């Protein structure tokens, strides 16, 4: 069982939202467009729970997220996405995912609920794929 289907659904949802924003708000100021982008394109539901997926599936979601920002700003596809995100003070998909993972992981780690506490202490949680994915997203591992 993988999370690819859910990621594809989120990609489709993001494309619909992006097209709607571009169509309805193309004449708004840059500030308004960025606020709309934050409001509508930061909500990628359950992304902190994704643990088994193909990298290509998430890369399609990233490209979609990048393209929406560039289209909203009227930038060509070939221009730097990183620069567009930095200059406009909005988060890219990697940052959004890290925030989501950090938020969920913090709530799980600090929870006093007996069910969550027992699950947190199990080897399935400590060594499981979701914990490995979380650690991979939150911490840079230097190899070598």
User: In whole angstroms, what is the distance from residue 77 CA to residue 49 CA?
Assistant: 30
* Structural domain includes residue 65: yes
Mean pLDDT of 77-98: 95
* Structural domain includes residue 54: yes
User: In whole angstroms, what is the distance from residue 19 CA to residue 5 CA?
Assistant: 21
What pLDDT score does 141 carry? Answer: 62
Residue 7: name the closest of 41, 42, 53, 39 by CA: 53
Residues with Cβ within 8 Å of residue 56, at least 6 apart in sequence: none
List the domain range (segments joined by +) for residue 69.
4-138
pLDDT tens-place string over residues 104-127: 999 999 999 999 999 999 988 888
Q: With 90 as the cut, is the pLDDT of residue 17 above it?
A: yes
* Structural domain includes residue 119: yes
* Structural domain includes residue 125: yes
Average confidence score pLDDT of the chain: 93
Please give the tally of structural domains in the chain. 1
Q: Is the dihedral of CA 105, 107, 112, 115 positive or negative?
A: negative
Strand locations in the chain (E)? none
* Structural domain includes residue 85: yes
Q: HSE (CB half, 13 Å, CA atoms) of 26?
A: 8
* Structural domain includes residue 143: no
The enclosing H or E element of 132 equals: helix 129-138
* Structural domain includes residue 144: no
Residues with Cβ within 8 Å of residue 83, at least 6 apart in sequence: none
* Structural domain includes residue 84: yes
User: In whole angstroms, what is the distance from residue 36 CA to residue 32 CA?
Assistant: 6
What pLDDT score does 126 carry? Answer: 87
Residue 48: name the closest of 86, 100, 96, 124 by CA: 100
Q: With 70 as the cut, is the pLDDT of residue 144 above it?
A: no
């Amino acid at each position: 069982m993988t999370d690819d289907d859910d990621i594809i659904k989120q990609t489709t949802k993001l494309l619909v939202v992006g097209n709607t924003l571009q169509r309805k708000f193309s004449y708004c100021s840059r500030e308004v467009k960025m606020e709309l982008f934050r409001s509508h394109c930061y909500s990628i539901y359950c992304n902190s729970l994704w643990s088994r997926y193909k990298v290509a599936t998430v890369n399609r979601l990233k490209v979609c997220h990048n393209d929406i920002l560039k289209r909203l700003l009227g930038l060509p596809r070939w221009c730097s996405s990183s620069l567009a995100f930095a200059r406009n003070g909005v988060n890219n998909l990697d940052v959004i995912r890290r925030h989501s993972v950090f938020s969920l992981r913090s709530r799980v780690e600090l929870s006093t609920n007996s069910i969550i506490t027992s699950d947190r202490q199990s080897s399935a949680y400590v060594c499981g794929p979701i914990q490995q994915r979380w650690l991979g997203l939150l911490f840079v591992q230097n190899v070598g």
